[in-house]
C-alpha cells in the first residue's frame, strides 16, 4: 500500500478531570518548596497506537482554579502580578511533536500562559490502557517538565534581605492524566 493511501488508525480520548492532576512547585525564600495545583483541566488526545509519535494532545486549564492551600497566596496568584486571570483566564498546551526517548516519550508543544506562548518539552510515561468497570476504555500518562515563569510574564518577585528572591523563576511541573475514549 502506498503511503498516500495508507490509513492511520487513531482514537479520540477526553481528559477525565476527576482523575487528572496538574501540579507545580517553586522554591520559596530560596530554601523551601511550595506546591500547588489547578483544579479545572480539560482536553483531548488523538492517539495513534500504531505510531504513538503521530499522536496529538490539547489541554486547557482554568487559571482561576489554582490552589496552593493558602487563600491569600491564591488570590495573589490570580491577580495581575501573576496569572492575571481576569484578562487571561486559560492556560493552554497544544502538542507539536511526540518523540520516543527509550521507554518514555518527549512531547513538545506550545504552552500559553498570560497571553505568551513558548515551546516546552514534557517527559512523558505511557502507563497503558484498561477497561473500566463500566465497559469504557481508559488511558493514563504521567508527565514532568520545567519552565521559567518570567518568560511567560510572571515576573513579580521580592528581593530578600539575606540575598536571593522570594519566588524562584524555575517552576517544576508534574501531571497525572487519565483519559476516557470518546
Separation CA 163–CA 144 (nearest Å):
29
pTM of the predicted model over 0.75? yes
Separation CA 122–CA 106 (nearest Å):
6
Q: What is the DSSP letter of 75?
A: H
Gyration radius of the chain over CA positions: 18
**Residue extents of the structural domains in the chain:** 10-181
Separation CA 75–CA 63 (nearest Å):
11
The tens place of each residue's pLDDT in the chain, 182 residues long, gives 445 545 568 999 999 999 999 999 887 777 788 899 999 999 999 999 899 999 999 999 999 999 999 999 899 999 998 899 999 999 999 999 999 999 999 999 999 999 999 999 999 999 999 999 989 999 999 999 999 988 988 776 667 677 766 677 788 999 999 999 99
Separation CA 88–CA 111 (nearest Å):
13
CB-CB contact of 157 with 170 (8 Å): no
CATH T-level fold of 10-181: Lipocalin (2.40.128)
Cross-strand partners of 130: 138
75 burial via Cβ count (<10 Å: 0-12, 13-18, 19+):
exposed
Amino acid at each position: 500500500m502506498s503511503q498516500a493511501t495508507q490509513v492511520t488508525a487513531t482514537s479520540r480520548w477526553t481528559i477525565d478531570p476527576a482523575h487528572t492532576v496538574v501540579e507545580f512547585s517553586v522554591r520559596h525564600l530560596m530554601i523551601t518548596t511550595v506546591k500547588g495545583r489547578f483544579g479545572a483541566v480539560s482536553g483531548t488526545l488523538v492517539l495513534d497506537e500504531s505510531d504513538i509519535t503521530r499522536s496529538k494532545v490539547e489541554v486547557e486549564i482554568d487559571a482561576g482554579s489554582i490552589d496552593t492551600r493558602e487563600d491569600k497566596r491564591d488570590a495573589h496568584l490570580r491577580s495581575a502580578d501573576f496569572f492575571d486571570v481576569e484578562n487571561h483566564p486559560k492556560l493552554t498546551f497544544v502538542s507539536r511533536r511526540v518523540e520516543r526517548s527509550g521507554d518514555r516519550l518527549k512531547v513538545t508543544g506550545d504552552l500559553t500562559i498570560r497571553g505568551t506562548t513558548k515551546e516546552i518539552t514534557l517527559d512523558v510515561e505511557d502507563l497503558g490502557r484498561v477497561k473500566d468497570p463500566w465497559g469504557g476504555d481508559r488511558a493514563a500518562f504521567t508527565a514532568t517538565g520545567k519552565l521559567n515563569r518570567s518568560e511567560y510574564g510572571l515576573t513579580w518577585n521580592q528581593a530578600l534581605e539575606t540575598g536571593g528572591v522570594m519566588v524562584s523563576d524555575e517552576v517544576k511541573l508534574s501531571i497525572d492524566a487519565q483519559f476516557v475514549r470518546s
